[in-house]
């Protein structure tokens, strides 16, 4: 398989996974957790004494996958993925959370894009870490404020999303090394 074909194939796999994170996050919130609040989210522990809705795991992963979509398919594709993801987020969110879900998705992914883009060519791991950190904070702030008018659960939201980003960083480092070894340039 040619390097360009490999880059495109990996990019489309990341794009599919990115898109899958959105409905999966909504499903997790309503179905998976150590505690499921009646007419509320299912919660998971993210740190000692701190819980968060289980969907935060997929939101953290989506930020990393968006970066990989951009690395493999280019900035234009990443922006199209953000627009499509925002629409999908609005379509799968519970009716009471449509604006909060879509707004948080849009703003967090655009912030991720803005931070990632200038860093990614030379410092991939730093780019993924910094852009995801910025994106997950924005996602948490926007979602909580629009959904509940409160930032009471901000800590749990940030910690839960950060776990997925931190777990992905060794894979990103390996990917960077493999790309350099193969001569696989970013899009």
Q: Are 30 and 59 in contact (CB under 8 A)?
A: no
pLDDT (tens digit, 9 = 90+) per residue, 76-128? 999 999 999 999 999 998 888 899 999 999 999 999 999 999 999 889 999 99
Taking only the tens place, the pLDDT of each residue in 20-54 is: 999 999 899 889 999 998 877 899 999 999 999 99
> What residues make up the domain containing 12?
3-182
Structural domain includes residue 101 = yes
Q: Is residue 58 in some structural domain? A: yes
- Alpha-carbon distance values, 163 to 45, 99, 168 (Å): 11, 26, 9
In a domain, 121, yes or no: yes
The number of folded domains in the chain is 1
Q: Is residue 187 part of a domain?
A: no
Contact 2, 10 (CB under 8 A): no
Q: Is residue 154 part of a domain?
A: yes
pTM tops 0.95, yes or no: no
Residue 29: phi and psi, rounded to 5, are: -55, -35
Q: Is the pLDDT of residue 58 over 90?
A: yes
**C-beta separation of 62 from 14 below 8 A:** no
């Amino acid at each position: 398989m040619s390097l360009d074909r490999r880059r495109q194939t990996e990019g489309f796999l990341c794009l599919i996974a990115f898109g899958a994170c959105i409905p999966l996050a909504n499903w997790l919130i309503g179905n998976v957790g150590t505690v499921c609040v009646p007419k509320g989210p299912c919660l998971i522990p993210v740190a000692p004494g701190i819980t968060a809705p289980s969907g935060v795991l997929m939101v953290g992963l989506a930020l990393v996958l968006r970066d990989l979509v951009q690395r493999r398919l280019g900035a234009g594709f990443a922006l199209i993925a953000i627009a499509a993801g925002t629409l999908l987020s609005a379509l799968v969110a519970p009716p009471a959370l449509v604006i909060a879900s879509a707004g948080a998705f849009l703003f967090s992914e655009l912030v991720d894009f803005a931070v990632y883009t200038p860093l990614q060519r030379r410092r991939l791991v730093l780019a993924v870490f910094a852009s995801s950190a910025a994106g997950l904070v924005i996602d948490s702030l926007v979602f909580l404020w629009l959904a509940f008018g409160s930032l009471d659960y901000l800590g749990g939201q940030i910690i839960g999303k950060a776990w997925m980003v931190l777990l992905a960083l060794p894979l990103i480092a390996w990917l960077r090394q493999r790309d350099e070894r193969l001569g696989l340039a970013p899009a």
